């Protein structure tokens, strides 16, 4: 598919995956409209870290996904929508479930309604591996039962089902991409890998919650490649596709690996403040990525050790952006 001069919208463009996706689409020649959440500081999030020539090509639109008019205007004149905008922090969803529901569920509904009204050619919707909850069978295929073990997971299940309903009811050309634990440069300390790296670089101990949960980590460039392939493949319309590595590692093993790569002697401490409620902890995520391989011709290319080295290098150069001593919700 030729992305040259194609008008594309990315919601959540100022976020971690969103900023990398924007950069990749610009590199392919797309005309990218970047929808970011409005704030009075004019803060465009992680888009501010993109090279200046890339930033200068962007049509940056500030608004709120909960505002149907703002969303519809952002979608006007667009052929492809990548909907990544969401509130994604699980601990934050414990504190403010209503805001998370309104943003993730009603925000998605607004995107769907705008896409339908405007005749958008393709909509790529972002799910989350958290919708599966703790694995009942591994690896986890797209047919695995959905389990809402946090308010955040519940909102993503609801949003996914709205997307499914618009495909079934209105033939809206949608694809749901379900990333497993993306990581890499620019990710905030809300996520476990930057949490470990920042503490390993700056402190004598790494404070974590549970060490036994198993996760499937995918480097952000691989994740973005999955999104773009999902938009390019017509047979992906109406499908949900896992984007994961088909490899798993415990949080404790991950911390030890990062300590070795950083090259400092650091101890690991379990911090009760960082623990999820027992029923909310997802103990195992391990992606079955065969559908992505067969349908999208996608598979991850960046091994975990290489991705961690890249992330450590980036965080080392931007450590002033982090607060290693604080627990970031």
Q: Where are the domains of the chain?
A: 7-186+218-246+286-301
Task: Give the CA distances from residue 18 to residues 2, 9, 98, 126, 276, in Å, rounded to whole numbers and listed in that order.
Answer: 20, 11, 23, 10, 26
Which residues on adjacent β-strands are paired with residue 61?
35
Radius of gyration of the chain from its Cα atoms, rounded to whole angstroms: 19
Which residues on adjacent β-strands are paired with residue 120?
none
pLDDT score for 204: 93
Pairing type for strands 7-11 and 31-37 reads: parallel
113 membership: H or E segment, kind and range: helix 107-118
**CATH class entry, domain 7-186+218-246+286-301:** alpha beta
pLDDT score for 329: 79
DSSP 8-state secondary structure symbol assigned to residue 263 = T
Q: DSSP 3-state assignment of 132?
A: helix
Residue 324 in tokens = 């290693």
Which of 255, 253, 254, 251 is CA-nearest to residue 267?
255
pLDDT score for 185: 98
- 112 Cβ partners below 8 Å, 6+ apart? 123, 162, 163, 166, 172, 174
Residue 217 in tokens = 């980590």
Task: Give the CA distances from residue 327 to residues 198, 270, 271, in Å, rounded to whole numbers and listed in that order.
Answer: 12, 13, 10
Catalytic positions, written as ranges:
152
pLDDT score for 220: 98
Classify 133 in phi/psi space as left (phi over 0), alpha (psi -120 to 50) or beta: left
pTM of full prediction above 0.95: yes
Query: Which residues does the chain have with pLDDT short of 70?
Result: none
C-alpha 196/C-alpha 192 separation (Å) is 6
């Amino acid at each position: 598919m030729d992305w040259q001069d194609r008008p594309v919208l990315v919601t959540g463009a100022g976020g971690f995956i969103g900023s990398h996706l924007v950069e990749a689409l610009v590199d392919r020649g797309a005309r990218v409209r970047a929808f970011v959440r409005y704030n009075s500081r004019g803060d465009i999030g992680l888009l501010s870290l993109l090279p200046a020539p890339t930033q200068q090509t962007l049509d940056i639109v500030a608004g709120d996904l909960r505002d149907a008019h703002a969303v519809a205007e952002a979608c006007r004149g667009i052929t492809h929508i990548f909907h990544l905008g969401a509130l994604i922090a699980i601990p934050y969803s414990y504190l403010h479930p209503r805001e998370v529901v309104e943003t993730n569920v009603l925000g998605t509904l607004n995107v769907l309604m705008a896409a339908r009204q405007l005749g958008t050619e393709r909509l790529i919707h972002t799910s989350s591996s958290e919708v599966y909850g703790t694995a009942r069978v591994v690896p986890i295929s797209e047919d695995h039962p959905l389990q809402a073990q946090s308010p955040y997971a519940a909102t993503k299940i609801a949003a996914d089902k709205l997307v499914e309903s618009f495909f079934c009811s209105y033939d809206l050309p949608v694809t749901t991409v379900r990333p497993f634990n993306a990581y890499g440069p620019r990710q905030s300390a809300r996520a476990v890998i930057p949490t470990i790296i920042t503490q390993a670089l700056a402190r004598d101990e790494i404070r974590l919650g549970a060490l036994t949960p198993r996760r499937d980590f995918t480097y952000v460039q691989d994740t973005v490649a999955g999104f773009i392939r999902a938009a390019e493949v017509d047979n992906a319309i109406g499908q949900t596709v896992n984007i994961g590595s088909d490899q798993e590692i415990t949080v404790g093993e991950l911390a030890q690996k990062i300590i070795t790569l950083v090259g400092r002697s650091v101890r690991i401490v379990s911090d009760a403040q960082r623990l999820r409620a027992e029923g909310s902890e997802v103990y195992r995520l391990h992606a079955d990525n065969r559908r992505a391989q067969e349908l999208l011709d996608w598979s991850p290319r960046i091994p975990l050790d290489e991705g961690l080295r890249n992330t450590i290098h980036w965080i080392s150069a931007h450590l002033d952006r982090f607060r290693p001593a604080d627990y970031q919700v």
